[in-house]
């Protein structure tokens, strides 16, 4: 590990969150108060705190900041089912649903179409997005040393399990390697995201992206659960680690969406995780009369990390997302996703 995270592991490690006190060795379900609905109901975010008997780092795992991205909920559900305070050192703060207003609408966005992941750190006076963001920032991010924010591809696309982080930050790179999703992508922070606010406050946050919106997918969830446990193990938070940790992800410093230059009905010639070489056909387009047009050839050599799931394109539509290896852990073969879980 390049540069150690420094944790305040002084005892006793009582966790104060949402007005509650969680003593060492306790598991507490609570609701963080945010605001109120049109009809005056309390609006809350459900949180479970697992406070280990042993002191150690504090880690949060958030899911569904985008309300239609459900695989992260599946990851948190599995962590809730498989971890207890007597198995961990430090504290795990699990938030299965951050966007509690988008989720019931099956919507990525807030009801007013704001993107919650552009509203951090938020405020107590702003829109509902700002208030939700503020609650997560102050009650969850600020009390933790490190975090994982779980996402999926946007509607109509699918992602190979991947970590996005600022990899030229040594500390973050070490954590991303420890999580060991199949691909690590050096991705700049976007203003207003939970990850960027964490970065600004010295709290490394990894963004995990896997699968499609509105699905529970075994692979996306399996790699996510294993990754969180690998990260915990790396930080000394798992007293009896049961996860494979000797894995080398591919590191990519650039990614490219390949766009359609012709419209029509497409047949993808590649799948998520495929290694593609320059000039290899990525898809073919056919006209409504069934005539095939020239295949679209890959301008890059790399791994397919994202693809459209809709077989219809207009010229200019992004169809296949390719990560070009750089840094360590480069390889030139198909990714065996199953081995990362
Ligand atoms: Zn998302």
* Residue 292, pLDDT score: 81
Per-residue confidence (pLDDT) for residue 3, from 0 to 100? 47
Beta bridge partners of residue 185, listed in sequence order: 164, 252
CA of 278 from ligand 1 middle (Å) equals 30
Sheet containing strand 296-297, strands side by side: 296-297, 281-286, 264-268, 312-313
pLDDT in tens, 201-226: 999 999 999 999 999 999 999 999 99
Half-sphere exposure of 52 (CA within 13 A, CB side): 21
For tokens 């992004």, name the residue. Answer: 318
Q: How far is CA 326 from CA 7, 280, 297, 306, 322, in A?
A: 31, 20, 22, 18, 13
Burial of 288 from C-beta contacts in 10 A (0-12 / 13-18 / 19+): exposed
Closest listed residue to residue 275, CA positions, set 252, 253, 304, 307: 304
The CA 55 to ligand 1 mean position distance, Å, reads: 32
Residue 280 clears pLDDT 70, i.e. is over it = yes
Q: Tell me the CA–centroid distance for residue 23 and ligand 1, in Å.
A: 33
Predicted local confidence at residue 327, as pLDDT:
66
Q: What is the distance in A from the centroid of ligand 1 to the CA of 129?
A: 15
Contact 59, 147 (CB under 8 A): yes
Rounded-to-integer distance, Cα 65 and Cα 67, Å:
6
Q: State the distance from the centre of ligand 1 to the C-alpha of 240, rounded, in angstroms.
A: 32
Output the CA 294–ligand 1 centroid distance in Å.
34
Residues ≥6 apart with Cβ < 8 Å to 81: none
At 76-113, the pLDDT tens digits run 999 999 999 999 999 999 999 999 999 999 999 999 99
Q: 296-319 burial, b for 16+ CB within 10 Å, e for fewer?
A: bebebebbbbbbbeeeebeeebbb
> How far, in Å, is the centroid of ligand 1 from the Cα of 70?
10
Q: How confident is the model at residue 312 (pLDDT cuts 50, 70, 90)?
A: very high
CA of 323 to the centre of ligand 1 (A): 19
The tens digit of pLDDT for each residue in 37-70 reads: 778 888 999 999 999 999 999 999 999 999 999 9
Please tell me the distance between residue 107's alpha carbon and the centre of ligand 1 in angstroms.
Answer: 11
Q: How far is the CA of 186 from the centre of ligand 1 (A)?
A: 17
* Ligand 1 center–CA 63 separation, angstroms: 9
Q: What is the set of domains in the chain, with CATH numbers?
A: 15-234 (3.40.630.10), 252-340 (2.40.50.100)
Q: What per-residue confidence (pLDDT) applies to 7? A: 61
C-alpha angle with apex 253: 157 to 119, nearest 5 degrees?
60
- Residues 77 and 164: their CA atoms lie apart, in Å, by 22
| Predicted local distance difference test score (pLDDT) of residue 242 | 83
Give the pTM. Answer: 0.95
Span from the CA of 305 to the centroid of ligand 1 (angstroms) = 15
pLDDT the model gives residue 10: 54
Q: What is the Å distance from ligand 1's center to 293 Cα?
A: 34
Token pair, residue 241, equals 């680690």
Question: Residue 163 half-sphere exposure, CB side, CA atoms within 13 Å?
Answer: 31
């Amino acid at each position: 590990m390049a540069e150690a995270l420094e944790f305040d592991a002084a005892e006793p490690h009582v966790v104060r969150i949402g007005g509650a006190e969680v003593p060492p060795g306790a598991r507490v379900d609570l609701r963080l108060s945010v605001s109120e609905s049109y009809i005056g109901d309390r609006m809350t975010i459900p949180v479970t705190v697992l406070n280990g008997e042993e002191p150690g780092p504090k880690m949060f795992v958030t899911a569904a900041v985008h309300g239609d991205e459900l695989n992260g909920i599946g990851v948190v559900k599995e962590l809730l089912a498989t971890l207890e305070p007597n198995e961990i050192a430090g504290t795990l703060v699990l938030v299965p649903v951050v966007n509690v207003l988008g989720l019931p609408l099956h919507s990525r966005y807030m009801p007013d179409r704001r993107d919650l992941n552009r509203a951090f750190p938020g405020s107590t006076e702003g829109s509902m997005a700002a208030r939700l963001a503020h609650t997560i920032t102050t009650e969850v991010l600020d009390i933790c040393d490190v975090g994982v924010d779980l996402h999926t591809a946007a509607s109509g696309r699918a992602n190979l399990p991947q970590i996005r982080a600022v990899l030229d930050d040594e500390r973050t790179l070490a954590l991303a390697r420890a999580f060991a999703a199949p691909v690590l992508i050096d991705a700049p922070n976007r203003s207003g995201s939970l990850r960027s606010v964490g970065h600004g406050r010295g709290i490394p946050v990894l963004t995990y992206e896997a699968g499609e919106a509105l699905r529970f997918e075994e692979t996306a969830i399996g790699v996510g659960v294993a990754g969180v446990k690998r990260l915990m193990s790396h930080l000394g938070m798992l007293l009896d680690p049961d996860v494979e940790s000797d894995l080398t992800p591919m590191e990519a410093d650039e990614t490219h969406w390949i766009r359609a230059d012709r419209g029509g009905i497409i047949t993808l010639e590649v799948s998520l995780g495929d290694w593609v070489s320059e000039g290899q056909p990525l898809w073919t387009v056919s006209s409504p009369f069934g005539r095939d047009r020239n295949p679209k050839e890959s301008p890059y050599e790399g791994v397919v990390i994202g693809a459209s799931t809709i077989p219809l394109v207009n010229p200019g539509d992004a169809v296949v997302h390719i990560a070009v290896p750089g840094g360590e852990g480069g390889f030139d073969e198909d990714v065996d996703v199953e081995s990362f879980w």
